[in-house]
Amino acid sequence: MDFRLPWQGRPVSRRRVLGAGLAAGGAALSPGLRSVRAETPHKGSAHGGNRTVGSVDHGRNGFDPHALLTDWDTGSVSILPDGRRLREYRITAIDKEIEIAPGLFFPAWTYNGRVPGPTLRATEGDIVRIEFRNAGTHSHTMHFHGIHAASMDGVPGAGQVEPGDSFTYEFEARPFGCHLYHCHSMPLKRHIHKGLYGAFIVDPDPARHPELADAARGRLLGTQDNAQWQEFVMVMNGFDTNFDEENEVYAANSIAFAYRDKPIRIAGERPVRVYLVNVTEFDPVNSLHLHANFFDYYDHGTTLTPTHRTVDTIMQCQAQRGILEFTFAEFEPGLYMFHAHQSEFAELGWMGFFEVTT
Ligand SMILES: [Cu+2]
């Protein structure tokens, strides 16, 4: 008797899963059969792995990839007796099925019901307090990339939260930069890959950087200098939809081809800043390549002068992140592509366009 599950019958290539599965075009596939059904090549789609048919129901997901680009969560702000600013956040871990490409569902573990989780944004020196509640079915943590005490590290033994429990993390926001947070429960790659991660941006405090105060103000949310910039956060991620420890879908901000199907509109005369974070599991490196233009790059975002100048491709290892700055001033209006330069990732969802307008 053969006890193999249907999807163990023969290996399924990643490309076939996406090429066929996505062409299912929004069909409601029954739970547990999603990747199986995806095995069957659909007429006309066997060679069409570079496209999707239909659209993702962002309303059902509860988050929209375009809204995520600029959705800064600056917390609930108050001033402490010592004069320092306190930012309080509430984060809840929730198990939730999300649609990552038309008709392709993924049983995610989420922070606040979205993948990536909220983009937490603070200013250097603020006190950050996060009340983390676990409404999921497994132990979880919030491990921040930043400077903090061992007891606030968000690892097993220091802030791991059992289902139904809660924990409050508190630390000073530092260093300034483009950081991230993620679950650090074991097995680590499974907990991260399921969707428990998000960007954590710490804006520089201009008063602490008098020699580069202009650059610091340009990064500080709420200032006039910063308002000139068109800022976006892109969390590069992947999804292993058939649990073979390879990703079948790649994206920035979870939804395959979201910014190809609906390009990101930018005004040509205003500069662009991208907070880029790589949380792709299973593949050691991801990248971003910008077409027809070059950018300056700040590795980890922890400096006010670029660490790379005039590059058009940047790679990031797992958990690496940085800031891209560029402008399309004096370019002709139109569609300017960006994508992972691992061509396979691009073909499996991680590509999009900036639509430059005048
Ligand atoms: Cu976890």
Helices then strands, each counted (H, E), the chain: 9, 21
**Ligand 1 centre distance from Cα of residue 130 (Å):** 16
Residues 117/196, Cβ–Cβ less than 8 Å: yes
**φ and ψ of 249, to 5 deg:** -135, 135
**Ligand 1 centre distance from Cα of residue 305 (Å):** 35
Amino acid at residue number 304 = L
Residues 133/90, Cβ–Cβ less than 8 Å: yes
**Ligand 1 centre distance from Cα of residue 184 (Å):** 6
Q: Which residues are CB-neighbours of 311 under 8 A, at least 6 positions away?
A: 294, 295, 296, 297
Q: Does CATH number 2.60.40.420 belong to domain 65-357?
A: yes
Q: What is the DSSP letter of 345?
A: H
CA distance 45 to 338: 24
**Ligand 1 centre distance from Cα of residue 157 (Å):** 14
**Ligand 1 centre distance from Cα of residue 194 (Å):** 8
Write down the pLDDT at residue 53: 78
**Ligand 1 centre distance from Cα of residue 319 (Å):** 16
Sheet order of strands, 313-317 included: 264-267, 351-357, 334-339, 285-290, 313-317
**φ and ψ of 157, to 5 deg:** 95, -10
Residues 118/94, Cβ–Cβ less than 8 Å: no
**Ligand 1 centre distance from Cα of residue 91 (Å):** 13
Write down the pLDDT at residue 138: 97
Amino acid at residue number 293 = N
Nearby residues for ligand 1 (ion, Cβ within 5 Å): 140, 183, 185, 191, 196
* CA 60 from centroid of its chain's CA atoms: 19
CA distance 65 to 232: 11
**Ligand 1 centre distance from Cα of residue 105 (Å):** 19
**Ligand 1 centre distance from Cα of residue 109 (Å):** 8
**Ligand 1 centre distance from Cα of residue 159 (Å):** 12
- What does 183-242 look like in DSSP terms, one character per residue? --PSSHHHHHHTT-EEEEEEE--GGG-GGGHHHHHHHSTTSHHHHTSEEEEEEEEEE-TT
CA distance 281 to 235: 12
Write down the pLDDT at residue 25: 38
CA distance 238 to 246: 9
Write down the pLDDT at residue 29: 37
**Ligand 1 centre distance from Cα of residue 241 (Å):** 18
**Ligand 1 centre distance from Cα of residue 118 (Å):** 16
Write down the pLDDT at residue 51: 66
CA distance 23 to 17: 10
Q: Is 26 in a helix, a strand, or coil?
A: coil
**Ligand 1 centre distance from Cα of residue 198 (Å):** 13
**Ligand 1 centre distance from Cα of residue 29 (Å):** 26
**Ligand 1 centre distance from Cα of residue 74 (Å):** 23
**Ligand 1 centre distance from Cα of residue 234 (Å):** 21
**Ligand 1 centre distance from Cα of residue 146 (Å):** 19
**Ligand 1 centre distance from Cα of residue 196 (Å):** 6
Residue 125 to residues 61, 135, 206, 213, Cα–Cα distance (Å) = 35, 31, 11, 16
CA distance 255 to 106: 11
**Ligand 1 centre distance from Cα of residue 155 (Å):** 10
**Ligand 1 centre distance from Cα of residue 309 (Å):** 37
Write down the pLDDT at residue 42: 39
Write down the domain spans for the chain: 65-357
CA distance 29 to 21: 10
**Ligand 1 centre distance from Cα of residue 217 (Å):** 36
Q: Which of 171, 168, 127, 163 is nearest to 145 (CA)?
A: 171
% helix / strand / coil in the chain, to the nearest 5?
15, 40, 45
**Ligand 1 centre distance from Cα of residue 101 (Å):** 23
Residues of the chain with pLDDT under 50: 1-11, 19-48
**φ and ψ of 120, to 5 deg:** -80, 130
